[in-house]
Structure 1
Amino acid sequence: MIKIALRVWVVGGLLGLLLGCSPLNVLNLLTPAGTYHKVSDLKYGKDPRNRLDVYTPVNRAADVPVVVFFYGGSWNSGSRSDYRFVGEALAARGIVAVLADYRLYPQVHYQGFLDDSARVVGWTREHIRQYGGDPARLYVMGHSAGGYNAAMIALDPKWLAAVDMQPSVLSGWIGLAGPYDFLPIENPEVKPIFFFPNSPPDSQPINHISAASPPALLIAAKDDKLVNPERNTGGMARRLREQGVPVRELYFSRPGHGTLIAAFSRPMRGLAPVLDEVMAFIHGQDPASGISNDR
């Protein structure tokens, strides 16, 4: 199964290059459309990038859990349309998924994309009932730079305070290969975004943990070459445990940094049970079981 998934990824990527499509678009082309309903291009702010899409299950029931997803891209690239396979994966499992764009560098630096992320959560809490979602079961999730956004929204109260909310409104947060402790910055693309060498310490999620922080699910690729999993995922998990916050920490050996999120897609699920772990966390199964590696 894994070999087949890898073959699909490689062949799909090559076809995508030939056709002018990214590998993410290839995954979207292989994603079914009959498992969800989608409401597109909803405004949550005044900027043209302040738009979001809502994915709901086909057989929509009232008051189902809600996941707000933030994509990665080093805070300088990305589009919610690239991640239809994530919205489909969650909606097909009975979750209302909110996928949002946010302003990117050079239009904004740190803090602009966090202002937008907070507005997305505020919009979701206010409006999601009309899409069948339960605002009392609200999660934020992100991959890579989006994992940073999710962490900051969940851990630093000032962001949600700007939309008259507190992190306690979140049932939990999910970080996928997120950077949570990355000073001094080494990535040249990221340096100007965080005002290097004068990057503020309060820009780091790991500095905002308290006993009141929401429960967390942290997943990383063991051999991630872009975001150090030991320092970021491992360090975040240790700090959360020190404060008594429930956290589940998982490391997978087969996916890499990018393919960790690709494992949400149907062709790539053989790489690692990332979607299964997210669903178990949302439904409250074993939320504080500690550290796990590939079984």
Structure 2
Amino acid sequence: MKYIASSLFALLFLFGCGSDDDATQDQPNLPAQTLTDVSYGPDAEQKLDVYLPADRTSDTKVFVLVHGGGWTEGSRTDMGYVVPALQAEFPDYAIVNLDYRLGTDTSPAFPKQIDDIALAIQFIQNAGYQISDDYGFIGVSAGAHLSLLYSYKYDPDHEVKAVCSIVGPTDFTDPAYIGNPVFEYGLTPLIGNVSYDENPELFAEVSPATHVSSEAPVTVMFYGGQDPLIPVSQATRLKSKLDEAGVYNEYYLYPEGGHGDWDLPTMIDFQTKLIAFFEARF
């Protein structure tokens, strides 16, 4: 899956120990701090960057950025453009930008990439950063899929309060995908060399839409009507599940947009809606 975070957020930038709930334990007047290339696990790919605001407390909320790349490529540096944009709009929030182990034909992405997100969250909760356990995920493409799947299925304490999917796949049982040989080949890095007919349960297991419940976090979705990789039905199927569960969600379709390669007016609209969503809901 083609990775598009750099172009997506370049324009956005141009425009624009676990935390303790007892505030008496906070250290006052902490300075802003940037920590890069932090290891959250033993693997060389298990790295993250942390951006901590000044005067943070145990109520400081945290954005988590998850890069795309078809589960098999990309890195957190691809999400670098969004960091200053978020810092400008949300100066009192912390930001975590993470890498995860990439999938290969012999070492599929699932479940290790979900495990990595869980490990990264555990790490930052125990690192003494003086931030809260309230998270807002922003994922692009494959990173959006991982953000949704983690938030809906693998967050038992419901610490993810809001999640944003930017052109992310949501339902691999979609008839628009089933039987498509190009799609099944592209999914190999995620689940291995297995077809839907061979293991439909696995395809459902890695589909975020399958795991929507009334406890799912509020969700915002951005998709392109001309996306060659993500059919519009991926967004509408997820929205239908969220609506049925009574979960607040926003869905925006840009009819002429592709896989994130959107024109300037679309980018400005995207930025405005993204910021408004997190201001109101996170």
Give your verdict on TM over 0.5: yes
1:181 counterpart residue number: 171
Q: Residue 83 of structure 1: which of 79, 82, 90 is its match? A: 79
Cα-to-partner distance string for 1:77-131 (whole Å, 9 max, x where unaligned) = 001112210112112212322110101121631111111122222223444744x
CA distance 1:275–1:194, change in 2 (3 Å): same
The letter of the residue matching 1:24 is S
Residue in 2 that maps onto 1:233: 235
Aligned to 1:100: 98
Distance verdict in 2 for CA 1:23–1:248, change over 3 Å: closer
Q: Distance in 1 between matches of 2:272 and 2:34?
A: 22
Unaligned runs of at least 5 residues, structure 1: 1-21, 161-165, 288-295
Q: Deviations over 1:34-84 (max 9, x none)?
A: xx9632011111111110012345x66544431111111110000111221
1:141-152 mapped onto 2 (5 Å cutoff): 141-152=138-149
1:211 aligns with 2:207: no
Report Cα offsets for 1:104-163 as digits up to 9, x if no partner: 121631111111122222223444744xx432x31122111001100111111xx34xxx
Please say if 1:172 is aligned against 2:162. Answer: yes
1:240 Cα deviation from its structure 2 partner: 0.7
Q: Which residue does 2:135 correspond to in 1?
A: 138
Q: Distance in 2 between matches of 1:251 and 1:144?
A: 15
Q: Cα distance, 1:269 vs. partner? A: 7.4
1:139, 1:275 → 2: CA distance?
Answer: 16
Preserved contact between residue 128 and residue 134 of structure 1 (Cα < 8 Å): no
**Residue 69 of structure 1 aligns to a residue in which SS?**
strand
1:270–1:207 distance in 2 versus 1, CA, 3 Å: closer
Aligned in 2, Cα 1:98/1:240: closer, same or farther, shift over 3 Å?
A: same
* Identical positions, percent: 23
1:203-229: CA deviation from partner (whole Å, max 9, x where unpaired): 111111111111111111222121112
Report how many aligned residue pairs link the two structures: 244
- Choose between structure 1 and 2 for higher RCO, CA contacts under 8 A separated by at least 6 residues: 2
Note the 1:1-295 alignment, pairs <5 A.
Answer: 24=6, 38-56=34-52, 62=57, 63-94=59-90, 95-106=93-104, 108-109=107-108, 110-127=110-127, 129-130=129-130, 133-135=131-133, 137-156=134-153, 159-160=154-155, 166-183=156-173, 184=178, 186-187=182-183, 188-195=185-192, 196-197=194-195, 198-199=198-199, 200=202, 201-229=204-232, 231-253=233-255, 255-259=257-261, 271-284=267-280
DSSP 3-state at the match of 1:273: helix
Q: Greater helix share, 1 or 2? A: 1
Q: Which amino acid aligns with 1:171?
A: K
SS at match of 2:261: helix
Aligned to 1:14: none
Cα distance in 2 for partners of 1:124, 1:279 equals 24
When structure 1 is superposed on structure 2, of 194-203 and 97-106 the one drifting more is 194-203
The DSSP-based 3-state class of the residue aligned with 1:75 is coil
Unaligned runs of 5+ in 2: 15-31
8 Å Cα contact 1:252/1:272 also seen in 2: no
Deviations 1:224-264 (A, max 9, x none): 121112x211110111110111111111245421336xx9x
Cα separation, 1, equivalents of 2:145 and 2:249: 16
For the Cα contact (< 8 Å) 1:71–1:143, is it kept in 2? Answer: yes
**SS of corresponding position for 2:280:** coil
Q: Which letter does structure 1 place at the counterpart of 2:81?
A: F
* RMSD (Å), alpha carbons: 3.1
| Residues 154, 167 of structure 1: 8 Å contact kept | no
CA deviation profile, 1:3-54 (whole Å, cap 9, x unmatched): xxxxxxxxxxxxxxxxxxx9939977x968xxx9632011111111110012
